[in-house]
């Protein structure tokens, strides 16, 4: 069972609702970037991609942590290595991204996903908490977290923060 609490938030801006999940990792931003983008690192915690990575290009992304997941298109919108990544993923064109900020030996990860409605937060929020913790565990050679520790345990928290976005 996980001993942590959810820490994400939901904001409302002119484009709608955005989920933000944060992590602080004791590593340089360049190393964290590798864990978020390099196929050999991604395969240890979330999945794999195929294709030629380039802004405007479309990759095929398969989430390996989800039983029987089919490959989905991932269109790269922004790629500023070591700093910022933004993409549209899947048939529903989920807008997903992350930004990295290095501060005194820590890299702050701000992971984002646009949501069509607040009702999505109860499943999306716990999902990204789970995946980011999988990345941290894989990086540290620790056992990967268990999905049942995140969902439905974190669902009420995310439903609450999405109902009153900042």
Q: Residue 2 — very low, low, confident or very high, per pLDDT cuts 50/70/90?
A: very low
What rounded mean pLDDT belongs to the chain?
95
Tell me if 58 sits within 8 A of 49, measured CB to CB. Answer: no
For residue 100, count CB atoms less than 10 angstroms from its CB and return exposed for 0-12, middle for 13-18, buried for 19 or more: buried
Q: Residue 102 — very low, low, confident or very high, per pLDDT cuts 50/70/90?
A: very high
**CA 159 and chain centroid, separation:** 18
Question: Residue 105's CB: how many other CB atoms inside 10 A?
Answer: 9
Tell me what the mean pLDDT of segment 6-30 comes to: 96
pLDDT at 120 over 90: yes
- Domain ranges in the chain? 9-163
pLDDT at 1 over 50: no
Q: Which residue has the tokens 């794999």?
A: 48
CA dist 110 and 97 (Å) reads 8
Could you tell me where the DSSP H helices lie in 43-94?
none
CATH architecture of 9-163: 2-Layer Sandwich (3.30)
CA dist 103 and 108 (Å) reads 8
Q: Which residue has the tokens 């565990």?
A: 137
Please calculate the CA angle 74-122-68 and round it to the nearest 5 degrees.
45
Residue 133 backbone phi and psi in degrees, to 5: -70, -30
Tell me what the mean pLDDT of segment 113-117 comes to: 96
* Residue 147 neighbours by CB under 8 Å, 6+ apart: 130
What pLDDT digit, counting tens, does each position of 26-81 carry? 999 999 999 999 999 999 999 999 999 999 999 999 999 888 899 999 999 999 99
């Amino acid at each position: 069972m996980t001993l942590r609490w959810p820490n994400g938030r939901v904001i409302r801006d002119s484009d709608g609702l955005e989920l933000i999940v944060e992590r602080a990792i004791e590593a340089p931003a360049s190393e964290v970037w590798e864990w978020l983008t390099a196929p050999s690192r991604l395969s240890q915690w979330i999945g794999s991609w195929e294709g030629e990575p380039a802004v405007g290009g479309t990759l095929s992304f398969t989430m390996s942590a989800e039983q029987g997941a089919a490959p989905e298109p991932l269109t790269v919108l922004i790629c500023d290595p070591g700093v910022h990544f933004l993409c549209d993923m899947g048939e529903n064109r989920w807008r997903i991204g992350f930004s990295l900020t290095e501060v005194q030996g820590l890299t702050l990860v701000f992971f984002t996903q646009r949501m069509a409605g607040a009702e999505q937060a109860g499943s999306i929020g716990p999902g990204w908490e789970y995946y980011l913790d999988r990345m941290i565990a894989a990086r540290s050679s620790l056992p990967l977290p268990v999905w049942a520790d995140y969902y439905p345990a974190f669902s009420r928290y995310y439903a609450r923060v999405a109902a009153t976005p900042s």
